[in-house]
A and B are shown apart, each in its own frame.
Chain A
Amino acid sequence: MERLLAVWVEEIAAESPEGGTVRMNIALHEALTLLCPFTEIIRLGLFVLPVRGPSRFFGGEEAVLHAVLQCVFDVTSRRARVGVAEGLFCAELSAKAELVIAPGESDAFRRTQPLEVLGRKDLAATGHRLGIHSVGAFADIAPARIAERFNRHAFVLHRVARGELSEIPGQRDTSLTRRITRLNDSGESVREQLGFFGQRGAGEIRAEEAAKRVRHRLGPESIQVANVAAGRTPQDRTAMVPWGSPAAMRDSGAPWPGQVGHPSPVTALRHPITVQLRDEFDQPIRVGERGLLSATPAYIMFTPPQRRSITWHAGPWPLVERWWQQSRRRAQLQILLDGGEAMLLANENQAWWLTGIYD
């Protein structure tokens, strides 16, 4: 039987009407999964992890126990009871007794337990009447005699008592595992990274530590987070805020007139660069009253002087933003250069700006 470390947290074993206990269990399961990815939640308040793998890493079972206790306390502010034994049934008993059963001793440990631990009052009552008070005494009854003295539930429990089965019926809450699996969905063992129900996951905590180091190194504005904001131009829609500042904006999802649409430039210049747009006769390109270009763009000039040929363009798309404000007439234009680069330009008051690069 597999050697298991069981974690029993009595205070979170009963389901609360508002569902907080389940959330607490999930949060704890998530944290324990960080210690050992194979941590299982058996039912509310009871978790097991195979102890051989992690104990090699942490340097012995003692250290694993310590790490687990610390973890439970960090997450739930409760004290857990932990124990180690072979098989789920013994592991739970060892946790409740707070014992580490030496390898190979789980049989002896189980045999000393009172009959009640098998979880059926009727069986215990019958046993006591027959002078059978311990799991060991029950196990010693020949299997053929069980039916004579006990009801049908006794068969399975007898096998558990004899160490032929590792868990008793009802020990594991299968519907709970299903519920949690549904919540965790993906099925990949990356779920430990995620925080549940707005709680912070371990991944976030680690990332935060790293962010602090960068901020310490480069200053408060150096590390940023992004969010997609509502707006018409890639600049309007790029909200970069220093990490740690109050939360950024949300995308309202509303359709915005003049938005160029998918794909969007991967580089959205925060400070657009002024450029010149020329036709084949080297005349400046203007945007007319009706939103049309004065000629076909042939060249783009960057400063410092650099001239590139334009092989294709699309637009201009007028930005009908603040249409009442005559001074703010803007339009966007997509261009392709001879080297294959794609760019997004904006025109405002007959000046052209490079606003985005599709890298």
Chain B
Amino acid sequence: MFASAHPRPPLSAELIAKVRPIALATTKTLPLGEPWREMVSGGALRRGTTTVVDAAPGQGGLSLALGLVGAASVKGHWVGVVGVDDPGVVAMTDLGVDLRRVLFVPRPRGAWAESTADLLDGVDLVIVRPPSIPAHGAVRKLMDRVRERGAVLIALSEPRSPWPLPADLSFKITHSEWRASSRLEGRQVTIVLGGRGSAHNTTEHIAMLPSALGKGEK
């Protein structure tokens, strides 16, 4: 007569609908791992906020975005990744992402904003890399959705597809340099951190990506 003998019936849709918005003080943030925790005021990602990761292609923007969701995914939060075609799942694991709770929409084509909105309804964090220049209106709607749902949106902003609105938090990679000996070892990035509200003062940080450098080689 115990649970695993009979699969547990899912919570009713009605109940789930009621459940979602109760984010009391302790659940108002999503955890950040190292080294991001030290950089961001409060040491966590606040629900309802949008973070922009601004970097030229190949400078580590995607790695940084994935690094930001790692700790939350390990702690049980679900993550959506929209517009990242051909994700390197080994690298994601190295960046600390728990792949068991990641949903990918690799090629959303014209419906990247709609798919992102769909995911925001059900997961806690969504990484989006718009495949084309994101329109002002679509972005505003998404950021409103994020606020309403209490999710966290991490948008990749690249020179060919810049995020058109100011975000609550922004990571701009201003410099990126690989460390290499007999092979690539890791990348040192210079990050300028800014944003609205409590994060309005920009600060500069240096981090290694992946941050768990050498972890897999012990």
Among B59, B80, B88, contact of A356 (Cβ-Cβ < 8 Å): B88
Q: Are A199 and B16 closer than 8 Å at their CB atoms?
A: no
Chain A: CB-nearest residue to B181: A314
Among B1, B12, B109, B210, contact of A74 (Cβ-Cβ < 8 Å): B12
Judge whether A168 is part of the interface by a CB distance below 8 angstroms. Answer: no
- Residues of the B chain whose Cβ atoms lie less than 8 Å from the Cβ of A200: 8, 10
- Residues of the A chain whose Cβ atoms lie less than 8 Å from the Cβ of B134: none
With both chains docked as a complex, state the minimum distance between the C-beta of B183 and any C-beta of chain A, in angstroms: 4
With both chains docked as a complex, state the minimum distance between the C-beta of B43 and any C-beta of chain A, in angstroms: 12
Q: Are B183 and A334 closer than 8 Å at their CB atoms?
A: yes
Among A18, A214, A239, A312, contact of B2 (Cβ-Cβ < 8 Å): A18
CA distance A200 to B108 in the complex (A): 27
With both chains docked as a complex, state the minimum distance between the C-beta of A288 and any C-beta of chain B, in angstroms: 19
Judge whether B137 is part of the interface by a CB distance below 8 angstroms. Answer: no
| Chain B, range 68-109, C-beta contacts under 8 Å to A | 72, 75-78, 80, 84-95, 99, 101-109
Among B26, B75, B91, B105, contact of A218 (Cβ-Cβ < 8 Å): B105
Judge whether A341 is part of the interface by a CB distance below 8 angstroms. Answer: yes
CA distance A260 to B108 in the complex (A): 31
Which of B32-40, B115-123, B140-148, B193-201 is the contact stretch?
B115-123
Among A57, A240, A312, contact of B22 (Cβ-Cβ < 8 Å): A57
| Chain A, range 28-45, C-beta contacts under 8 Å to B | 31, 34-38
Judge whether A237 is part of the interface by a CB distance below 8 angstroms. Answer: yes
| Chain A, range 15-53, C-beta contacts under 8 Å to B | 16, 18-21, 23-24, 27, 31, 34-38, 53
Which of A158-166, A171-179, A204-212, A296-304 is the contact stretch?
A204-212
Judge whether A117 is part of the interface by a CB distance below 8 angstroms. Answer: no
Q: Given A218-B108, A359-B57, does the pair A16, B1 have CB atoms closer than 8 Å?
A: yes
- Residues of the A chain whose Cβ atoms lie less than 8 Å from the Cβ of B107: 222
Among A18, A38, A197, A264, contact of B90 (Cβ-Cβ < 8 Å): A264
Q: Are B63 and A262 closer than 8 Å at their CB atoms?
A: no
Q: Are A202 and B11 closer than 8 Å at their CB atoms?
A: yes
Q: Are A70 and B61 closer than 8 Å at their CB atoms?
A: no
With both chains docked as a complex, state the minimum distance between the C-beta of A221 and any C-beta of chain B, in angstroms: 9
- Residues of the B chain whose Cβ atoms lie less than 8 Å from the Cβ of A262: 94, 210, 213-217
With both chains docked as a complex, state the minimum distance between the C-beta of B53 and any C-beta of chain A, in angstroms: 11
Q: Are A266 and B101 closer than 8 Å at their CB atoms?
A: no
Q: Given A214-B119, A359-B61, does the pair A74, B22 have CB atoms closer than 8 Å?
A: no
Q: Are A263 and B1 closer than 8 Å at their CB atoms?
A: no
CA distance A215 to B1 in the complex (A): 35
| Chain B, range 170-218, C-beta contacts under 8 Å to A | 176-178, 180, 182-187, 210, 213-217
Count residues of A near B (Cβ-Cβ below 8 Å).
89
Q: Are B3 and A222 closer than 8 Å at their CB atoms?
A: no
CA distance A34 to B30 in the complex (A): 16
CA distance A239 to B61 in the complex (A): 23
Q: Are A214 and B118 closer than 8 Å at their CB atoms?
A: yes
With both chains docked as a complex, state the minimum distance between the C-beta of B211 and any C-beta of chain A, in angstroms: 10
Q: Are A341 and B217 closer than 8 Å at their CB atoms?
A: no
- Residues of the B chain whose Cβ atoms lie less than 8 Å from the Cβ of A37: 22, 24, 26-27
Q: Are B22 and A342 closer than 8 Å at their CB atoms?
A: no
Q: Are B3 and A223 closer than 8 Å at their CB atoms?
A: no
With both chains docked as a complex, state the minimum distance between the C-beta of B191 and any C-beta of chain A, in angstroms: 15
With both chains docked as a complex, state the minimum distance between the C-beta of A28 and any C-beta of chain B, in angstroms: 9
With both chains docked as a complex, state the minimum distance between the C-beta of B59 and any C-beta of chain A, in angstroms: 7
25 A-B residue pairs with Cβ-Cβ distance under 8 Å, sorted by A, are: A20-B2, A23-B2, A31-B11, A35-B18, A70-B14, A75-B11, A188-B31, A200-B10, A202-B16, A207-B123, A208-B122, A209-B122, A210-B122, A217-B115, A226-B87, A238-B86, A264-B94, A266-B62, A312-B180, A334-B184, A336-B178, A337-B58, A340-B58, A342-B187, A358-B178
Given contacts A74-B9, A74-B11, A358-B178, 5 further A-B contacts (CB under 8 A): A74-B15, A191-B76, A207-B101, A211-B103, A264-B91
Binding site for B on A (CB under 8 A): 16, 18-21, 23-24, 27, 31, 34-38, 53-54, 57-58, 67, 70-71, 74-77, 186, 188-191, 193-194, 197-211, 213-214, 217-218, 222-228, 234, 237-240, 243, 260-270, 312, 314-315, 334, 336-337, 339-342, 356-359
Q: 8 shortest A-B CB distances, which residue pairs?
A: A20-B2, A210-B122, A341-B58, A193-B76, A262-B216, A268-B88, A264-B90, A226-B89
